[in-house]
Amino acid sequence: METLSPPFDLLVLGQGFAGSALALQAHWAGYRVGVVDDGQPQSASRLSSGLLNPIILRRRRMVDNALVRWETADAYYRKCEHLLGRPLFYREPVAELITTPEIDHAWTHLAERDAFQSLMEERTTSHSYQGLKSCRLGTVKASGRLDSPAYLHAVRSFFEEKGQFSGERCQHIGPAKDNTWVTDTGWSAPVVLLAQGYPAQLTESLFGSLEFLPARGEGLVVRLPYLQLDRPIHGSFFLIPLTNKPEQFLVGATFAWDAIDSPQPTSLGRATLIKWLESVLTPAALEGLEILDQWSGVRPTRQDREPVARWHPEKKGLGILNGMGSRGGLLAPSLALGLLQEGVRQGYLPSPLEPKGMTK
């Protein structure tokens, strides 16, 4: 295959949460990075709520290495804001809706455990939000919200301005004579990192089945002129005030396992989310409700619900980061850095010129 590539140290295929974190962590470490992404509009990252919340209350657990994941993500997005020159991450603690005494008891039981104390407030509290039915809220201290569309656009623009971004669709990569990998778009590098989300046909052709159990999600953008709420809340779904867009909120996201290959907004999805709003908001808060937008996308969830971040055991220089489900914003910064560090240890990447990435 003919190569027309600039002299890249590595290529990143895909520019969602996984690809963006890989590209920026590698850039900060001193590597010359090429990013290839054709901007699929219904990718999970582009449709994400952006909530970073390490607590999974309904399962009474947290994500693995929750505190490290949170601290690394928090530091990473701070550095992104400095590099990209705009606010992207809002450290507004997520409030869990406490609707029954049983949920209140479960919250307190979790918060008293040593592993959870640094992540969540020990006791639930009452609130003064006009229009919210729930009598109590539980605060996740280690949480916040990423403006996902703005973040992904800013990362793309950063690499575009450097001439290190291709918007062409990559469907094949193969070995070249000079011990590099070359894409069918003509770019090459000794290392290629695949971060293509779902369905990832190219990735599975190289790594085998990723055992996806993809879930379709739907959400709404609504106008609620009489709801006074300044922080994200989460129950069966989430309700998030949109920064710099007065009276507008993001609502979602549903889970379904049908129509995965052609996800489209449905009347059932809309009705499900409206019914939930009616269960958590007062009639006065719902006055003037206006649906501004409805979206649908597919989460790259795997059957074991575990992300995959590893190097190919036989094909030197091929790595993968995928399968983060609905928590890509939280998990990607630390998993990307770990994958790059392992690449250095394995000899796929040279030692960084001057390590500038996160330290976790």
Distances in Å between the Cα of 188 and the Cα atoms of 10, 163, 164, 165, 205 are 8, 14, 12, 13, 19
DSSP track, 284-322: HHHTT-EEEEEEEEEE--BTT---EEEE-SSSTTEEEEE
Percent of the chain with pLDDT over 90: 73
Helix axes 148-161, 17-28, angle to 10 degrees: 50
Mean pLDDT over 156-170 rounds to 95
Residue 64 is encoded by which pair of tokens? 């693995």
In this predicted structure, the answer to whether residue 355 has a pLDDT above a threshold of 50 is no
Contact 181, 212 (CB under 8 A): no
Per-residue confidence (pLDDT) for residue 358, from 0 to 100: 38
CA dihedral over 310, 312, 318, 322, signed as positive or negative: negative
Per-residue confidence (pLDDT) for residue 41, from 0 to 100: 64
Beta carbons within 8 Å of 269's beta carbon, 6+ residues apart: 218, 254, 256, 294, 296
Per-residue confidence (pLDDT) for residue 353, from 0 to 100: 59
Closest among 4, 342, 344 to 166, alpha carbons compared: 4
Mean pLDDT over 167-196 rounds to 93
Structural fold of domain 1-90+142-211+304-360: FAD/NAD(P)-binding domain (3.50.50)
> Which CATH code is given to the segment(s) 94-140+215-299?
3.30.9.10
**pLDDT-based confidence at 90, cuts 50/70/90?**
very high
In the chain, alpha helices (H): 17-28, 66-84, 101-111, 148-161, 201-207, 267-280, 283-286, 328-345
Q: Give the lowest-confidence range in 240-244, 281-285, 321-325, 343-347.
A: 240-244
Q: Give the lowest-confidence range in 57-66, 230-239, 316-325.
A: 57-66
Q: Amino acid letter at 179?
A: N
pLDDT for 259-301, tens place per residue?
788 788 999 999 999 999 999 999 999 999 999 999 998 888 8
Q: Where are the domains of the chain?
A: 1-90+142-211+304-360, 94-140+215-299
Q: Amino acid letter at 159?
A: F
Q: What is the CA radius of gyration of the chain?
A: 21
Per-residue confidence (pLDDT) for residue 67, from 0 to 100: 93
Q: Over the range 218-232, which residues count as b (16 or more CB within 10 Å of their CB) and which as e?
A: bbbbbbbebbebebb
Per-residue confidence (pLDDT) for residue 360, from 0 to 100: 35
Within the chain, how many helices (H) and strands (E) appear?
8, 21
Per-residue confidence (pLDDT) for residue 267, from 0 to 100: 95
Contact 182, 174 (CB under 8 A): yes
**pLDDT-based confidence at 42, cuts 50/70/90?**
low
Contact 229, 90 (CB under 8 A): no
Mean pLDDT over 331-344 rounds to 97
Per-residue confidence (pLDDT) for residue 183, from 0 to 100: 94
Per-residue confidence (pLDDT) for residue 29, from 0 to 100: 95
Closest among 322, 319, 318, 329 to 304, alpha carbons compared: 322
Q: Give the lowest-confidence range in 15-29, 36-50, 155-169, 201-215.
A: 36-50
DSSP track, 160-207: HHTT-EE-SPP--EEE-TTS-EEETTS-EESEEEE---SS-HHHHHHH
Distances in Å between the Cα of 49 and the Cα atoms of 7, 39, 63, 68, 103 are 36, 18, 18, 21, 24
pLDDT for 123-142, tens place per residue?
999 998 989 997 899 999 99
In this predicted structure, the answer to whether residue 167 has a pLDDT above a threshold of 60 is yes
Average pLDDT of the residues of the chain: 91
Whole-number Å distance between alpha carbons of 184 and 202: 12
Percent of the chain with pLDDT over 70: 94
Residue 57 is encoded by which pair of tokens? 């209350």
Contact 52, 329 (CB under 8 A): yes
